[in-house]
A and B are shown apart, each in its own frame.
Chain A
Amino acid sequence: MKFHWFNLMPWPYLPDDFTEKHRSVWVDVDSRLFDPVKANRIYNEYLDLLELAEDVGYDGLGINEHHQNAYGLMPSPQLMAATLSRRTHRAAILLLGQSLALYNPPTRVAEEMAMIDCMSGGRLISGFPVGSSMDDNYACGVNPATLREQYLEAHDLVRRAWSDPDVFAWNGKHYKLRYVNLWPRPIQDPPPIWIPGGGSVETWDFCAEHRYNYSYLSFQGYVRGAQLMDGFWQRMETLGQTFNPYQAAFAQQICVAETDAEAKRLYEPHARYFFSRCLHVHPGFADAPGYRTEATIRAGLISQMAGQSSALNQAAALSWEEMIEKGFIVAGSPESVAEQVERLARTLRVGHLVCLLHFGDMPNELCQQSTRLFAEKVIPEVRGLWQEHEDHWYPQPMPATERAVPRPVSMPAAAAPAEQTLRIAEGSQ
C-alpha cells in the first residue's frame, strides 16, 4: 500500500465568526481576509511540510488546484510541483489537478506537466480532474453546459500531444490548433494518470476505458466513501476489468498523537476549523446548471429525497467521537489509527491513501508531529497490504544515479525567526 502526504493549503486566519458573517469560503470569499505578508510564511511552511514528508518516507507529495478559495491556496499546483521537483528527490509528485477545461490551449497543461516530469526525473503523477463547479464555472467562467465536452476534448488533445512524435493539426469543436508539436515532452510515456472524481458513473467508465486511477476526493470520510467505492468496483467488474487496488485512491483526513485522548486535545480545534469554516460554501456555487449530467442529477435527487444530506459541512455539528465513528476523520494513537487505516483500505479496497495530515488552521509543529508519527508508527503496520498486486499507477522515474542533482543552496545563517519577520512587516504597513 502507498501513502501520499497531501496539503490543501488552507488559509488559517479565517475569523471565529466567519460562518456568520460570510456566505462562502469559495468564489466570493472576502479578499480582505487575505494577508500577503502572512502568506509568505504560510506558503513556505506548507512547502516545508511537503519536503519533510519525503524525508520521513511518504510515497508521494500531493497538491491540487483551487481558485478563489480560502481553504486551497493553490490556483497553480504546477508552481508547487516545480519547486518540489528541485527540493525533493525521491517521492512522486502527485499533481492531483489540472482542470483541463480551464486552459486554452490545453496543450499548456501538457507542456507544463512535461516540464515537471523532466525536471523531477520522471516523478510526476498527472491528475486530470473535471474540476469543481466552484472553480471551473463560477471562478473561471467556463460554461457548465459544455464543460465536460471541453474536458474530454482537452484530454484527448493532451494525450496525443504527449505521444504523437509528428506535428499534427487539431480540429476539435472547442480547440483548433494548426500546429501541435510539444516541446518538451515527458520522460514517462505517459506519466501515470489519476482522475480525481466525486462519483459520477461517466467518470468511472472513463477510468475503465483508459485504465486510469480513480481518486475519490471527498471530505465525507471513508464510511460514507465505502458506498461509492463499492459502486466503482462493481462498475469495473461489469466492464470486465481485473481488480487491482492500486487503480483507486482515497483521500482522508488523518491525525496521530501518542494517545487517543491526546489526539482529541491537540487536533479537534483544527478539525472543527476545517469542517465548519473551510467547508462553508454557498450552496448556490456548488452545482452550476449543466455541471452534472442528467443521470447524475437524477441519482443525486433520489438520494436527497431518501434523506441523505449532500451538505459539504455536515461534519461541523458532530462530536469528535462521532467524526471518528462516521469516518470524517481518522484519529488517535498510532495503534488506533493503524487499525482505522486498515479498515479503510480493506473496506474501500484502495491501494493509494491520500493522507490529509494537515487540515484547517493546524500549526506547523503540530502537523510535523502527526506527520512523523504516522510515517514511523502507522505506515509500517499497514505497508504490506495489497502487496500481491502490482502498482501500475505510480511513477517509473529515471534511476536515481542518472538523475541531475540540483546545486545545494546556502541559506542565510541568521535569518530572523518567522514570527519576528511577520511583526516587522505588519508594523511597517
Chain B
Amino acid sequence: MSELQHWTGPGSREFWYYQAGTGRPLLFLHHMLGLQGFEPALARLAETCEVIAPHAPGWGPAKDQLAEMDDGPLDITLHNTDVLDVLELEQVDVVGVSIGAWMAAELAAIRPERVRRLVLVNPLGLWIDGVEAVDPFAQHPGFPSRVLFADPDGRKRYLFEGRDKLDAHVEELLNLRASARFLWPLPDTGIKKRLHRIQAPTLIVTSEHDVIVPAAYGPAWCSELTDGHLTTLPDAGHLAELEQPDAFSRMVVDFLQNGAAAAVA
C-alpha cells in the first residue's frame, strides 16, 4: 500500500501522487473520476514497474488548480512534462484511462521523445458524428457516474465504499467538473490532428461495456497512429481499471513488455 505523496519545489506547480514498485517507470494518468486512492490496479502494475500516478490539476487534492488550466492541450501537457522533469524521469511508459488517455496522447504527441510505449484505455478526445454515445455530463446529479460502470453497483462499490457519503459525492461532482473543463460540451479536443506525431507503439483499448467511448472509437484512434494496436477489455465499463484491475494490469504489462504480439493474442 502506497501513501499519497506531495511534491513542492521549483520547476513545477505542486502535485500529489502515488509512487510504488521498481522497474521501468510507468506514468498512470487517471480517468474522469480521479484516483480512488492507491487502487488495486496500481498495486498490480507496481509488481513489475515503478508506477507514478499523480492527481491531475483540478482533481482530488488538486481541485483548486483547475482555474490554472486552459481547456486546450498545452497547460496540461506542460504540467505532465514538469512532473516528469522534477521526478527526473527521462522516458516513461504512459498509461491513460478515459480523459487520462487524452492527456497521455497529448504528452506523446507533443513530447514524443519522453514516451516509450503508450496505452490508451477508453480514450476521450475524438468525436465521430452519428456514433451513439452517452453524455457523461447529462446524468442525474444524484448518481452522475453510474453510467461509467458496467456493474450497476459499481458507483457505490468503487467510489463510496468505506467513505463519508457526502464527501464522496462532492468529490465525484468536482471531479466531473474538472473533466467538463476539458471536454465540454462534447469530447473533441483537437487531438486528431496531432496523433500522427506519436512515435511510441500504442495500444488502444476499449471496454466491452463502455457507453461513453463506444467500441467504434477504437479503430478511429488506431487509424490515426503510425504504430497502433487495438484490443478489447471484457466485462468493464468506462472506468476500466476499477472494475477489472487484474485483466487491466495484465493487458498493460503484456503490451509494455512484449509489444504488439501480446495485444493481438
Give me the interface of A with B, judged by CB distance under 8 Å: 137-138, 141, 143-146, 149, 282-290, 294, 297-298, 301-302, 304-305
Nearest B residue to A173 by beta-carbon distance? B67
Question: A282–B138 contact, CB under 8 A?
Answer: yes
B111 near A: Cβ within 8 Å? Answer: no
In the assembled complex, the CB of A203 is this many whole angstroms from the nearest CB of chain B, namely: 19
In the assembled complex, the CB of A67 is this many whole angstroms from the nearest CB of chain B, namely: 13
Which one of A137, A284, A297, A305 lies within 8 Å of B184 (CB-CB)?
A137
Nearest B residue to A291 by beta-carbon distance? B177
Question: A290–B177 contact, CB under 8 A?
Answer: yes
Q: A141-B184, A144-B184 are in contact. List 14 more A-B contacts (CB 8 A).
A: A137-B185, A138-B138, A138-B185, A141-B185, A143-B181, A144-B177, A145-B66, A283-B142, A286-B141, A289-B137, A289-B176, A289-B177, A290-B180, A297-B174
Which of chain A's residues have a CB closer than 8 A to the CB of B185?
137-138, 141, 143
Which of chain B's residues have a CB closer than 8 A to the CB of A298?
166, 170
Give me the interface of B with A, judged by CB distance under 8 Å: 63, 66-67, 71, 135, 137-142, 144, 165-166, 169-170, 173-174, 176-181, 184-185
Which of chain A's residues have a CB closer than 8 A to the CB of B137?
144, 288-289
Question: B184–A301 contact, CB under 8 A?
Answer: no
Question: Assuming the A-B contacts A141-B185, A282-B138, are A297 and B173 also in contact, with contact meaning beta carbons closer than 8 angstroms in the complex?
Answer: yes
Question: B181–A287 contact, CB under 8 A?
Answer: no
Question: A297–B138 contact, CB under 8 A?
Answer: no
CA distance A297 to B169 in the complex (A): 9
Question: B177–A301 contact, CB under 8 A?
Answer: no
Which of chain B's residues have a CB closer than 8 A to the CB of A146?
181
Which of chain A's residues have a CB closer than 8 A to the CB of B176?
289-290
Question: A294–B170 contact, CB under 8 A?
Answer: yes
Which of chain B's residues have a CB closer than 8 A to the CB of A302?
166
Q: Which 6 A-B pairs have the closest CB atoms?
A: A290-B177, A289-B176, A145-B181, A284-B138, A141-B185, A289-B177
Nearest B residue to A302 by beta-carbon distance? B166
Interface of B is mostly: helix
Question: Assuming the A-B contacts A137-B185, A283-B142, A289-B144, are A143 and B170 also in contact, with contact meaning beta carbons closer than 8 angstroms in the complex?
Answer: no
Nearest A residue to B135 by beta-carbon distance? A284
Which of chain A's residues have a CB closer than 8 A to the CB of B169?
301
Nearest A residue to B66 by beta-carbon distance? A145
A and B contact pairs by CB, cutoff 8 A, 16 listed: A143-B180, A145-B181, A145-B184, A149-B67, A283-B142, A284-B141, A286-B141, A289-B144, A289-B173, A289-B174, A290-B177, A290-B180, A297-B173, A298-B170, A301-B166, A305-B166
Nearest A residue to B136 by beta-carbon distance? A289
Question: B180–A289 contact, CB under 8 A?
Answer: yes
Which of chain A's residues have a CB closer than 8 A to the CB of B141?
283-284, 286-287
CA distance A20 to B140 in the complex (A): 18
Nearest A residue to B63 by beta-carbon distance? A294
Which one of A137, A141, A149, A284 lies within 8 Å of B139 (CB-CB)?
A284
Which of chain B's residues have a CB closer than 8 A to the CB of A137?
184-185
Question: Assuming the A-B contacts A137-B185, A141-B185, A289-B179, are A284 and B174 also in contact, with contact meaning beta carbons closer than 8 angstroms in the complex?
Answer: no
Nearest A residue to B32 by beta-carbon distance? A289
CA distance A50 to B185 in the complex (A): 36
In the assembled complex, the CB of A408 is this many whole angstroms from the nearest CB of chain B, namely: 47
Question: A301–B138 contact, CB under 8 A?
Answer: no
Residue from the set A289, A290, A304, A305 with the largest chain B CB neighbour count within 10 Å: A289
Which of chain A's residues have a CB closer than 8 A to the CB of B170?
294, 297-298, 301
Which of chain B's residues have a CB closer than 8 A to the CB of A285?
138
Residue from the set B165, B176, B185 with the largest chain A CB neighbour count within 10 Å: B185
CA distance A392 to B137 in the complex (A): 41
Nearest A residue to B177 by beta-carbon distance? A290
CA distance A283 to B135 in the complex (A): 13
CA distance A304 to B142 in the complex (A): 10
Nearest B residue to A146 by beta-carbon distance? B181
Which one of B144, B165, B166, B177 lies within 8 Å of A145 (CB-CB)?
B177
Which of chain A's residues have a CB closer than 8 A to the CB of B178?
145
Question: Assuming the A-B contacts A137-B185, A145-B66, A283-B140, are A288 and B166 also in contact, with contact meaning beta carbons closer than 8 angstroms in the complex?
Answer: no
Nearest A residue to B183 by beta-carbon distance? A143
In the assembled complex, the CB of B91 is this many whole angstroms from the nearest CB of chain A, namely: 33
Nearest A residue to B58 by beta-carbon distance? A145
In the assembled complex, the CB of A385 is this many whole angstroms from the nearest CB of chain B, namely: 38
Nearest A residue to B172 by beta-carbon distance? A289
Question: B142–A288 contact, CB under 8 A?
Answer: no
Question: B166–A284 contact, CB under 8 A?
Answer: no
Nearest B residue to A305 by beta-carbon distance? B166
CA distance A210 to B196 in the complex (A): 52
